[in-house]
Amino acid sequence: MSKAISESKATDVFKKEELRCLRNVAFPPDLNEKNLPTFDNDSDLGKVLPAMRNRSLAFSFLCNGYALRGRFHGLDIHKVCYYQAYDTTEAALQKLTRELELSSEIASRSGGALREYPQQDCLGMTPLHILACSTKQRSEMYQLVIKSRPEYLFIQDKWGARPFLYLIWGRAPREIVDLVANAMKIHPPVESDWESDLYYSIVATFARAEAPLVCFEYAIETAKLFGLDNARRHSFWSSSWRHAVETLCVESRASKEYVEGFIDMFRRSFPQVKLELELLSVTLVRREKFCFKPFWFGIGVVDRVGRLQKQTWRIELGEMIQTFPCQSSKRDHQRRVDLMNRILTRLAEYETIQRLWVVELALWKQRIRNESSEEKGRLGVGESDFREWCRVTSGSDIVLPCVMSYLHVDYNFTRAPTGRQG
């Protein structure tokens, strides 16, 4: 590894966009200080690694690769778990058993204070975290670690993630996921409703990392292991995924295609749960001044626009949404708010007209029923002419002013939309 890093531009390798969410890496102790990679401050590793001065160079700069060069110093269990992919299953199990027994012996000598033995590395990870992040998944390794240290199941690393999160993120075999989930239920933490907290963290973390949608699907699939798939949890899924949509837009700057795919996946998985994105989209328009995307507002009203029966209305509103200014000046921000108000007002008008269509049709039908056959004969008109006669005198000029106050929607954007009382 040292040679490979030395021959390549080591300081650039870990700054690539696809490695922005890299969390589990270690450098060999013999790696030359001049070749120690650095990490962008907005990357996952750059946010948590301590910055140290690299004194070997003529000029001073901060290098956060030092901590990873000595990541497993004095942490032999971590080291065995990290490099177990290079060993056979038998060899890996022997090494892990030996180190676990040694750590237990050390703890017993200190009066049984097991917590005094080092449990977390510079990233806050336990050996169980490292196994969950590994490319080689062996159930026997998990069984040994959990049996010896069940407290590892709920310890959080520096990103606030438990080992189970990495199992879902890496799409570990279902056998492993079931094993760890059952162990968590056997050794639950003190806090109540920890299952919801666990999955809220999973969804939020995946959204920040813009993880593949299959990872979200795997999370939904495994939620039934903790009883999170019943109707009582609908509000939890709605709130957590609505927050995830906000994270995807504002923090991750995800593409329109990704966000729409995320929303579609939620609706397929939870057909009975309403995501209610309109208030979120209004909030984003009013709050966000930088890097605004028109589809942020579109995702909130797409259902209402789609229910409009006239295609010309749908096209008109879609074109208005596309004209949202994306610049960051105060003037452009105010233009966005004004345009949003116009769109919502026009959308409410079109919806009101559609409701009035129903009222007019109902009155027309009632008028036809009420008129007697003698009246039709007296007029001397056919069936189609009689229907038209009823339509013309249906009283729509009276319906419009009398019913509008009950159907019109008044939007006050300092609060949620409410109906106006007549």
Q: Which of 66-70, 92-96, 99-103 has the lowest mean pLDDT?
A: 66-70
Mean pLDDT of the chain: 83
Contacts for 415 with CB less than 8 Å, ≥ 6 apart: none
Average pLDDT over residues 180-209: 94
* Band (92; pLDDT cuts 50, 70, 90): very high
**Closest by CA position to 14, among listed 64, 59, 54:** 64
Residue-level pLDDT at 191: 86
Chain centroid, CA 169 distance in Å: 13
Does position 82 have pLDDT exceeding 60, yes or no?
yes
Residue-level pLDDT at 360: 73
Give the number of other CB atoms < 10 A from CB of residue 396: 15
* DSSP E strand boundaries for 33-74: 52-53, 62-63
- DSSP assignment, residue 34? G
**Closest by CA position to 390, among listed 368, 374, 373, 408:** 368
The phi, psi pair for 301, rounded to 5°, reads -115, 5
Judge whether 136 and 172 are in contact, CB under 8 Å: no
34 domain-assigned = yes
Residue-level pLDDT at 108: 73
Judge whether 298 and 321 are in contact, CB under 8 Å: yes
110 domain-assigned = no
390 domain-assigned = yes
Residue that wins the pLDDT comparison between 402 and 47: 47
The phi, psi pair for 418, rounded to 5°, reads -135, 155
Judge whether 92 and 84 are in contact, CB under 8 Å: yes
Residue-wise pLDDT tens digits, 239-252 = 999 999 999 999 99
Q: Cα–Cα distance between 382 and 417 in angstroms, integer? A: 47
Cα dist from 99 to 72, 102, 146, 175, 254, whole Å: 13, 5, 14, 25, 44
SS3 113: coil
Residue 105: how many CA atoms within 13 Å on its side-chain side? 6
Residue-level pLDDT at 30: 83
Q: Cα–Cα distance between 419 and 293 in angstroms, integer? A: 29
Residue that wins the pLDDT comparison between 237 and 418: 237
Determine the length of the chain: 422
SS3 381: coil
Question: What residue type is assigned to position 312 of the chain?
Answer: T
For the chain, what is the domain count? Answer: 2
- Domain end residue (candidates: 52, 69, 86): 69
Please give the share of the chain, as a percent, with pLDDT higher than 70: 78
Judge whether 408 and 397 are in contact, CB under 8 Å: no
152-172 as b/e: b if 16+ CB within 10 A: bbbbbbbbebbbbbbbbbbeb
Question: What residue type is assigned to position 291 of the chain?
Answer: C
Q: Cα–Cα distance between 255 and 295 in angstroms, integer? A: 9
* Band (318; pLDDT cuts 50, 70, 90): very high
- The two three-digit tokens of residue 138, written as one number: 């062996």
Q: Which residues pair with 294 in a beta bridge?
A: none
61 domain-assigned = yes
Q: Cα–Cα distance between 358 and 246 in angstroms, integer? A: 36
Judge whether 32 and 6 are in contact, CB under 8 Å: yes
Average pLDDT over residues 20-46: 83
Residue-level pLDDT at 178: 97
* DSSP E strand boundaries for 109-232: none
pTM: 0.81
305-341 as b/e: b if 16+ CB within 10 A: beebeeeebeeebeebbeebeeeeeeeebeebeebbe
Q: Cα–Cα distance between 297 and 244 in angstroms, integer? A: 16
- Alpha-carbon torsion, ordered 87, 92, 94, 98, to 10 deg: 120
182 domain-assigned = no
408 domain-assigned = yes
Judge whether 71 and 29 are in contact, CB under 8 Å: no
Segments forming the whole domain that contains residue 30: 2-69
218 domain-assigned = no
405 domain-assigned = yes
Please give the share of the chain, as a percent, with pLDDT higher than 90: 57
Residue that wins the pLDDT comparison between 73 and 180: 180
Q: Cα–Cα distance between 117 and 102 in angstroms, integer? A: 11
Residue-wise pLDDT tens digits, 403-415 = 555 555 454 444 4
Contacts for 231 with CB less than 8 Å, ≥ 6 apart: 272
Average pLDDT over residues 281-285: 96
Query: Sign of torsion, CA 57 60 64 67?
Result: positive
Residue-level pLDDT at 236: 92
- Domain end residue (candidates: 21, 53, 69): 69
- Domain end residue (candidates: 69, 96, 127): 69
Does position 389 have pLDDT exceeding 60, yes or no?
yes
Judge whether 168 and 202 are in contact, CB under 8 Å: yes
Does position 225 have pLDDT exceeding 90, yes or no?
yes
